[in-house]
Chains A and B, each alone.
Chain A
Amino acid sequence: MKGLKKKIDSVKPQFEKGGKFSKLHSVFDGFYTFLFTPNETSKSGVHIHDSNDSKRTMIMVVLALIPCCLFGMWNVGLQHALATGDPDHSLFHLFFYGFWAVLPQILTAYIVGLGIEFVVAQLRGHEIQEGFLVSGILIPMICPVSTPCWMLAVAVAFAVIFAKEVFGGTGYNFLNVALVTRAFLFFAYPSQMSGDNVFVSLGGANAVDGYSGATPLGQLAASTTGQVEVLGVTGDPLSYADMFFGFYPGSWGETSTFCILIGLVILLATGIASWRIVLSGIVGGFFMSLLAHNFATPLYPVTYLTPLEQLSLGGFAFAIVFMATDPVTACRTNIGKYIYGFLIGAVAIIIRCYNTGYPEGAMLAVLLMNCFASLIDYCVVNSNINRRLKRAIVKN
């Protein structure tokens, strides 16, 4: 580590003003601060600097995502083995099948997204923003495993430019970039984002008899017979443990509620995610699904799921833990956070239950509430001002 630091410090002057590569200063600075905590100090006044800058915050989120990511890769392999009747269920066989299946997507997302960020930072002479470190891993995780790389590249470019850079870059976007990517894919290429054929990677092999690649929520949304049992890829019913641990097909990073909870613990312990949003989100989802379950009707088969199943299936838990808590797009005030989280949970379940056109509502719920976040804050702040004004004016 010391040798690396010496080497970097020795080339540093070339990137400073007047140096040979001064035009590439922002690129150099990006890598430099990625590797080492910058030891810049304030030049005026008294300040206290925390070395926990936004790069380190982002890295913690990536760390929290790793359990989901590793499990997701293994699950891709498992679903593939089940679907093709491959008897080899050894850990590494399954994991590396999934690893190679999703690696191109992860690389595509990072190369396209970071490429655009680097170019924009160079053009504007800004520092390189680190926001894409998290988005780049989130994006492939919330997409089906069979999403073609060129589609992902188009969607990432669209989201980074139109959801983030035009508003001023990291920290100024009002919509979650990863979810904008997914929404773009969802509306632009619907056949690649839903249905029976995209969530399980068959890898060219033939599927076994009785195979169905539909996700549990997809099965229920498409059900016309009032069937309420959800099945795995081979046609066996899924137990609650299967749903909780995530042994079913879906967007590959978000199936396992268990791994998401590990991530949640990391985020809460480091204080990065707001517990208010997570708590009220879960309460909102639970409340709404309890309501839906009490008034279950064959017209909307998803309403037969119990609240716990609702919270474990699909992208709900992932959206609450990793998407709703994005500090840039969420509410800033504490009361606002409760309202924001609750509404995300409730709206996600409403869309899931009562709009059979969209089997999963978490993405749309978070994007919708992103739009309302600043309005909620505005109301909270204003009501606080009014309350205090009333207290302040006694009598004239």
Chain B
Amino acid sequence: MKVNKSLLPLVNPLSKDNPVIVQVLGICSALAVTAKLEPALVMTISVTAVLALANVIISLLRNTIPTSIRIIVQLVVVAALVVIVDQVLKAWNYEVSKALSVFIGLIITNCIIMGRLEAFAMSNRPWPSFLDGIGNGLGYGIILVIVAFFRELLGSGTLLGYQVIPQSWYDAGYQNNGMMILPPMALITVACIIWVHRSRNKDLQE
């Protein structure tokens, strides 16, 4: 598949350079917020928004930031954005905000964000940085949504809160798999995704 070179920062993180399954970053939140689909979606949107905006801001400031304090500057920018996202979420969707609890605040410490700021935004112009932020946010989100889809479907029998598995199955003896709700199964689901991904992309195999 040929992709316009200027769009590479947007496309690469979706599969070839995925932050979760290739770089193995942001695993903690992938385990914590994926028991249900809705928090996973909200988390995806939040991280994408924070990452895109932070990338643009740092990219604009990149020539004025002294090297010795660049981490502090990056943190301040990210922290400010995270607080905004947190407040917006509390105002518009209090239930999900409660379900995500500290994990919105912990976006600040998400390795993906600091990683992209250091690796990309500090040395690129604002537009590619913006695309890179969107791309990495979505690449992270795809994995979150896939994991949450399976965990909610098998663990609770619902999707986005709607009952998907019919009552007749339960009457016939089917039971929800309680282990899918527990964090270990998120890890194993991520492992399965990595397994499939690596077997389709031979050049990623070690």
Contacts and interface: CB of A to CB of B under 8 A. Distances in A.
Interface of A: 148, 150-151, 154, 162, 184, 187-192
Query: A interface, by DSSP: helix, strand, loop or mixed?
Result: helix
A148 B169 CA distance: 14
B87 interface: no
Contact of B177 (A148, A162, A188): A188
B179 A188 contact: yes
Contacts of B175: 151, 189, 191-192
B178 A189 contact: yes
20 contacts: A148-B173, A150-B173, A150-B174, A151-B175, A154-B177, A162-B188, A184-B179, A187-B178, A187-B179, A187-B182, A188-B177, A188-B178, A188-B179, A188-B180, A189-B175, A189-B177, A189-B178, A190-B178, A191-B175, A192-B175
B153 to A, nearest CB: 14
Size category, B interface: under 10
Contacts of A189: 175, 177-178
Contacts of B179: 184, 187-188
A151 B177 CA distance: 9
Most B CB within 10 A of own CB, among A148, A162, A187, A188: A188
A150 B175 CA distance: 10
Query: B interface, by DSSP: helix, strand, loop or mixed?
Result: loop
A154 B175 CA distance: 12
Contacts of A190: 178
Contacts of A191: 175
Interface of B: 173-175, 177-180, 182, 188
A191 B178 CA distance: 10
B190 to A, nearest CB: 13
B127 to A, nearest CB: 43
Contacts of B174: 150
B46 to A, nearest CB: 30
Most B CB within 10 A of own CB, among A184, A187, A189, A191: A187
Q: 6 smallest A-B Cβ distances: which pairs? A: A188-B179, A187-B179, A188-B177, A188-B178, A189-B175, A148-B173
Contacts of B173: 148, 150
A155 to B, nearest CB: 10
A199 to B, nearest CB: 18
Nearest to B177: A188
Nearest to A183: B179
Contacts of A192: 175
A167 to B, nearest CB: 12
B140 to A, nearest CB: 24
B64 to A, nearest CB: 50
A191 B180 CA distance: 15
Contacts of A187: 178-179, 182
A260 to B, nearest CB: 29
A311 to B, nearest CB: 30
Given A187-B179, A188-B180, A191-B175, 17 more contacts: A148-B173, A150-B173, A150-B174, A151-B175, A154-B177, A162-B188, A184-B179, A187-B178, A187-B182, A188-B177, A188-B178, A188-B179, A189-B175, A189-B177, A189-B178, A190-B178, A192-B175
A144 to B, nearest CB: 14
A253 B91 CA distance: 57
A189 B173 CA distance: 12
Nearest to B195: A166
A167 B174 CA distance: 30
A184 B185 CA distance: 10
A202 B173 CA distance: 17
B95 to A, nearest CB: 27
Nearest to A149: B173
B94 to A, nearest CB: 32
Nearest to B178: A188
Nearest to A188: B179
A162 B187 CA distance: 12
